[in-house]
Structure 1
Amino acid sequence: MFETNNLRIRAVRNTDFEKIHDLWNDLRVQKSLSPSYVVPLGNKFEETLRTSAADALLYCIIETKDKGNWVGFVNLFNGDQKNRDAMLGLALCPEFWGRGYATEVLLFVVDYAFRELALHRITLNVFGNNAAAIKVYKRVGFVEEGIQRKANWSGGNWQDVVLMAILDEEWAASKGDHGE
């Protein structure tokens, strides 16, 4: 279990999958997580979540330290083991948006991924209309690498998909760590 100033970042437990499932079924969250159709996800989806968690390089639950409130999840999927590149995923319950928790958990996870998991890069995709998430990712040090123009249909409109990443040497430079 890890701790930051305000958060506890712990391993996923069997009892968490119902909450993760509920989070995915929140319309506000689902439309920001997946390019798939936004539809109610039934009981079978919980099996998919369990398989994903088992296959992830890192799959953690985020809780508040003070009251133990369930905030959301963060994960790293090892998409390219040879090149030490993992795909980042993050979702917070809407009642915890705008409190700085996303920035706090990302700062920890990125640092942990580079220092302890020996990753070279962390990649993510974010929908272009999610300005708040893009702002957080840039604040943490992610760099926009490209845009898939009008690649996702949502809410009756096309939206861009923004490709972002951060490299280990960029992170080290931002921390003043030059490998010494």
Structure 2
Amino acid sequence: MFETDRLRLRAVREADFEDLIALWNDDRIQKMLSTDFVVPLGAKLEKLVREMSSSALFYAIIETKDSHEFVGFISLWDAQTKNRDARLGMALLPSFWGRGYATELLRFVIDYAFRQLALHRITLNVFGNNTAAIRVYNKVGFIQEGVQRKANWGDGKWQDVIWMAVLDEDWEASKQDGPDPKIVS
């Protein structure tokens, strides 16, 4: 179990799957996580979430430290062992958006991935209309590496898919400015 100032990251438990399915079935979340049509998902989704949580390099349930309230999940998946690269995936319940939780969480997970998991890079993709997420990713050190123009149909229009990454040496250089006060050792 890991902790930041306000959050706890822990292993997934059987009781979490109900919350995870509800999270994925929130249309505000689903349209940001998937290139598929936004539709109610049932047993097929549960099987997928179970597989993702058990096969990821790192998969954690996020909860508040004080009240143990379910916040969401974060994962490092699709790991390329030789290249020491993994893809980042995460989702927070909308009631936790705009409070700085994503920044706090990402700073911890990026640091952990580079220092403890010995990754060289962390890759992600985000839809171009998700400007709040892009701001957070930039804030914690992700750099845009490419754009798939008009690659996803959502909300009645084409959206770009933005590919971003952060490298271990860039992260280390950013730490030279002093310790991050949001990470609890």
- Normalising by structure 1, we get a TM-score of 0.96
Q: Identity over aligned residues, as a percent?
A: 65
AA of the residue aligned to 2:8 = R
Contact 2:57 2:79 in 1 (8 A): no
Residue 35 (1) aligns with residue 35 (2): yes
Q: Quick one: distance in 1 between partners of 2:63 and 2:132?
A: 21
Q: What's the counterpart of residue 172 of structure 2?
A: 172
Counterpart in the other structure of 1:79: 79
- Secondary structure of 1:170 counterpart: helix
- Identify the structure with bigger relative contact order (alpha carbons < 8 Å, sequence gap 6+): 2
Residue correspondence of structure 1 range 87-126 to structure 2 within 5 A: 87-126=87-126
CA distance in 2, matches of 1:166, 1:44: 32
Q: Secondary structure at the match of 2:68?
A: coil
Partner secondary structure for residue 14 of structure 1: coil
Distance in 2 of aligned mates of 1:100 and 1:44: 32
- Does residue 132 (structure 1) correspond to residue 132 (structure 2)? The answer is yes
**CA RMSD in angstroms, aligned pairs only:** 0.9
- Unaligned ranges ≥5, structure 1: none
Letter in 2 for 1:118: A
Superposition deviation, residue 79 in structure 1: 3.1
Q: Normalising by structure 2, what TM-score?
A: 0.94
Match of 1:146 in 2: 146
Provide the rounded CA distance (Å) in 1 between the counterparts of 2:62 and 2:80.
25
2:183 aligns with none
Partner of 2:182: none
Give the distance between the partners of 1:77 and 1:109, measured in 2 at CA. Answer: 13
Aligned match of 2:16: 16
Distance 1:168 1:79 in 2: 15
Per-residue CA shift, 1:83-111, capped at 9, x if unaligned? Answer: 00000001000000001000000000000
Q: Distance in 2 between matches of 1:58 and 1:17?
A: 17
| Displacement over 3 Å in runs of 4+ | none
What CA deviation, in whole Å up to 9, does each residue of 1:57-100 have, x standing for no partner?
00000111111111000000043211000000010000000010
